[in-house]
Amino acid sequence: MTRGSTLPAHPPSPLSGCLAIPAQTRTSRAPLLDGFNSAPVDEAHRTLLACLRSPSWARRVAAHRPYPTLDALLAASDEAAYDLTSGDLAEALAAETLPALPEDVYGAAHTALRAAHAAYEARFGHAFVISLAAVPPDERLDHVLEGIRSRLANDPEDERVVAAEELRRLGKARLASRFRGTGA
């Protein structure tokens, strides 16, 4: 006994023989990241140096392009920052400046911040760095002043470790801010 089709016959579709696979167009979810990945090396270095002022860090991060996602770029940034030599760290710290205060901050705050920064720089020989990425804007002045004052008590070698970590966090936050909205 042969079995036949139990479905009624339908006329063939005009698209007979075509597969129903949606067209796959390559739309870039990360135009800024794509631009960075394909940029000439010197342009990539400039972009990176605006985030962390260490030429060796910038060379290393740029050399490992392309990055598939922002998270991959940030992970590479961290890895390169952890591997900074003391000379690289000194060079990056020398290029940093104190975070700017909002214009509406009263004059005494500017004076207190300048004095605290001068004391820090005299003790450690480099600019005070601190990442403010997770600090609400209205708390930043207090956070910076508290950070400088508490870190002034650090041993110079301990402070170098803290400064390196803050520099890494600062560079990562700048990099994330630059590429935010890239779909990563």
Q: What is the number of domains present in the chain?
A: 1
What pTM did the predictor assign? 0.74
Is 27 a domain residue?
A: no
Kindly report the average pLDDT of the chain as a whole number: 82
Is 142 a member of any domain?
yes
pLDDT digits 0-9 by tens, 166-177: 999 999 999 999
Spatial contact of 92 and 57, defined as CB atoms under 8 Å apart: yes
Residue 26 pLDDT level (bands cut at 50, 70, 90): very low
Domain for residue 80, yes or no? no
C-alpha–C-alpha distance, residues 5 and 138, integer Å = 74
From the list 55, 77, 54, the residue with the least C-alpha distance to 65 is 77
HEC string of 135-159?
Answer: CCHHHHHHHHHHHHHHHCCCCHHHH
Domain, as residue range, for 159: 97-169
Has residue 78 been placed in a domain? no
Q: Which of 36, 40, 95 is nearest to 67 (CA)?
A: 36
Per the domain annotation, does 106 fall within a domain? Answer: yes
In a domain? residue 162? yes
Q: Any residues with CB less than 8 A from the CB of 172 and at least 6 apart, and which?
A: 74, 77, 78, 81, 131
List all residues 6 or more positions away from 13 whose beta carbon is below 8 Å from its beta carbon: none
Residue 121 lies in a domain: yes
Task: Of 74, 78, 39, 81, give the one whose Cα is nearest residue 176.
Answer: 74
Binned at pLDDT 50, 70 and 90, residue 138 comes out as confident
Cβ burial 91-102 (10 Å sphere, 16+ → b, else e): bbbeebebbeee
Mean local confidence (pLDDT), 104-118: 81
pLDDT of residue 30: 63
Q: Is 83 domain-assigned?
A: no
